[in-house]
Amino acid sequence: MGGRRLADLLTVPLPGDGPIGEAWVLSDRDDHSSHVANGPLKGRSIGQLMEQSPGQLLGRLAGRFRRFPLLLKFLDASEMLSVQVHPGDGHKDLLPPGETGKTEAWVVPAAGKESRVYAGLRPGTTADDLRRALTNRTVADHLACFTPKPGDGVFLPAGTVHALGGDIVVFEVQQNSDVTFRLYDWDHVDAKTGRPRALQIDEAIACIDFTEGTGGLVAPVVETVTPVERERLFRDEHFGLWRLHGQSPFAVGAAGLPHVLVCIEGAGQVEHGDATYGIAKGDVWLLPAVVGACAFRPRSAVTLLEIALPGTKVEG
C-alpha cells in the first residue's frame, strides 16, 4: 500500500524497486534500532547511548525513560490504511509489559486530490453504532474526515480512531510504542495469505475516546517571525513539535535538554563550538543534551521540524 515517494524525502536510498510503506528514521526498538551515522560514536545504537551515557544524552531528563521515548517515521500511503486505535497510558490491561500508550501526530509533506485523513468520530457516535457499522461496512460514515493539503498537522491523542490514504505522505511523531488495534480494514485482502487481515475489534472499542476530544486538524501557532518563522504545531505531555522556516542563521536545541531536527526542505549546517555539521533534506539529527543550544546556518531557504521530548520545551 506504499509507493516510492519516500525517496524524495530521505537521504538513504530505498531498498529494491517495490513499494515502501514506511521508514522509521529514529527508533529505539529491539526490532529496529537507530545507530549513530558518523563521528567517534559511529555504529552505537540509540539504546546503547541511553544505557551508557544517559546524562549526556538526556540531560535533565536522565533516568526518566527506560528507552528513548519517541519514535519517528515517514509514511507513504497510496491506498487507504486500516482504521486504527491506540490505547493510552492508562489502559494497563491492553498494554503488553514494557509498552506505553501511543499518542501520535502527523505533518503532511505531500497530498493529492484523492487524499483523505480520518481523525476522530462524528459527534454522538457510540460503541453500538460502530459495531453495527462494522456489520454493515459503513464505518467511514461515523468518522470525521477531511482532504489534507501539504503542510497540514494532525494531532491524534491515544484513543482517537484514525486512518489515512489516497496518495498521501506524512511525517509521524509518536510515543515509543508499537501497540495498535485494527478496527476496520476496508475489506482488504493480505497479499501473502489471500485472506483478510485480523481485526482487534473489542480491544479497539475498549480504548476509544467517545468524547469530542482534541484530535484532528490543528491550527499552527506562529511564535516568532525573525530570524526564523517558528510555528508550534503540537505540544502536550508526550512531545512538542515546531516547524521552522528561514534563510538567516537561527538557534536550535535547548540548554541541558535533547532535541531532534528533521530537515524537510533545503540544507544548511549545525554549528557547535568550532565544529560544523552539514544537514540536508531527509536528514534526522538527535541533538543530545550535552550539546545544548546550537546555531543553524541555512544555505538557502530551509524548513526544519524541531521536536522536544516529554516535559521539555523549545526556547524562543
**Could you list the active site residues?**
182
> CA-CA distance, 155 to 215, in Å (whole number)?
5
Neighbours of 104 (CB within 10 A): 24
Residue type, 191: A
> CA-CA distance, 103 to 239, in Å (whole number)?
9
Cell matching residue 38 = 558518523
Is-contact 261 295, C-beta < 8 A?
no
Is-contact 253 298, C-beta < 8 A?
no
> CA-CA distance, 35 to 65, in Å (whole number)?
19
Classified as helix, coil or strand, 295 is strand
Classified as helix, coil or strand, 174 is strand
Q: How many CA atoms lie within 13 A of 253 on its CB side?
A: 22
> CA-CA distance, 163 to 80, in Å (whole number)?
7
As a whole number of Å, the CA-based R_g of the chain is: 20
> CA-CA distance, 251 to 257, in Å (whole number)?
14
Cis-peptide, bond into residue 123, ω within 30° of zero: no
Is-contact 185 83, C-beta < 8 A?
yes
Give the number of residues written for the chain. 316
Is-contact 96 179, C-beta < 8 A?
yes
Cell matching residue 106 = 502527523
Classified as helix, coil or strand, 75 is strand
Cell matching residue 115 = 487524499
